[in-house]
Chains A and B, each alone.
Chain A
Amino acid sequence: MSQAQATSDALSADAGRWLDEHGDYLFKYASFRLRDDTAAEDAVQETFLAALRAYEKFEGRGSERTWLVGILKHKIIDHFRKLEREAPIGEDVDEGPEHVEFFERTDQWVGHWNADRAPSDWHATPAELLERADFWNVFDDCLTPLPQRMVSAFTLREVDGLKSEEICEILSISVNNLWVMLHRARLHLRNCLEVNWFKHPH
């Protein structure tokens, strides 16, 4: 057996093992961010292909999973970028719901909370929600009505903690635009979670 053949077989074996050991984890990582199973599967496949090509750079330094997640992060960002490029041109930018109805429109308290829509005590901690699949279904449903670009911005900022400038570059938007979108996404999501989850005992 030639050396090239041996290397190729070893690579192939590694690729199969990667899929078994890390496939589900990477898929979960991607689907939480992309909210689209097909896109998440593609991102995982792209990650393994890129890992095969870059194998000699890895050389067993550090954890294999950390290395793969590092590649996957780039693939996810590529996907958000692609969604922006494919967005119809010329259409008005959908800035999402403004939710002016959360605030008083008349009388002396104009601009202050409408008592029916004002925040209340949640009596909860983040830790207890991590394993609640039903909570994450509500979370996902709450994001669904928002424009894709707004959800991308929210995910990159709140889940991955990217800096404003990085997100602006990925989504080709101004920083003021980003702040408006993040504000509206949070305003909407906070209310939606309160109404659909925190107001009812689970």
Chain B
Amino acid sequence: MADNAYDKLKHSIRYWLLRKLPTCQQTVEKISQSMDRKLTLRERINLKLHIWICAWCQWYMEHLQFIRDTARAKGAESPDLSSTSAPTLSSEARERIKRKLAGES
């Protein structure tokens, strides 16, 4: 009984907030900007509240961070880690660079 009332209240608050807060479309733009600049206090509060009630935007934020972490790790990976899948200089490019270097030194 109490649980039911609590759920109803939660649902009402959620619904009311979603109508009051910036939309998902506006929020994802702020999520992106939060990765490039410090948001204003108001923007931060709106974002926090929106994320609190919207699982989709919460995932969105996690995914952007996931993409950044993955891209950065890939860009910084050590050579021994990925000897197998690494693209390598073609033999033609290698020869061309060798000739060029011999001419310069």
**Which A residues lie at the B interface, using CB under 8 A?**
8, 11-12, 15-16, 19, 23-25, 27-29, 31-33, 37, 41, 44-45, 48-49, 52-53, 100, 102-103, 110-113, 118-122, 124, 126-127, 129-131, 133, 136, 157-161, 164, 178-179, 182-183, 186-187, 189-190, 193-194
Taking a contact as CB atoms under 8 Å apart, the answer to whether B64 and A186 are in contact is yes
Residues of B within 8 A of A19 (CB): 94, 97-98, 101
| Shortest distance between the CB of A131 and any CB in chain B (Å) | 6
| Shortest distance between the CB of B98 and any CB in chain A (Å) | 6
Residues of B in contact, count (CB < 8 Å): 49
Task: Among B57, B89, B96, B104, point to the contact of A24 (Cβ < 8 A).
Answer: B89
Q: Give Cα A39–Cα B89 distance, bound, in whole angstroms.
A: 12
Contacts A31-B87, A49-B100 hold; do A15 and B25 have CB atoms under 8 A apart?
no
Taking a contact as CB atoms under 8 Å apart, the answer to whether B24 and A113 are in contact is yes
**Which B residues lie at the A interface, using CB under 8 A?**
18, 23-26, 28-29, 32-33, 35-37, 56-57, 59-60, 63-64, 66-75, 77, 79, 81-82, 84-90, 93-94, 96-98, 100-102, 104-105
**Consensus secondary structure, chain A interface:** helix
Taking a contact as CB atoms under 8 Å apart, the answer to whether A24 and B86 are in contact is yes
Contacts A111-B24, A131-B85 hold; do A164 and B36 have CB atoms under 8 A apart?
yes
Taking a contact as CB atoms under 8 Å apart, the answer to whether B26 and A111 are in contact is yes
Taking a contact as CB atoms under 8 Å apart, the answer to whether A33 and B75 are in contact is yes
Taking a contact as CB atoms under 8 Å apart, the answer to whether B60 and A119 are in contact is yes
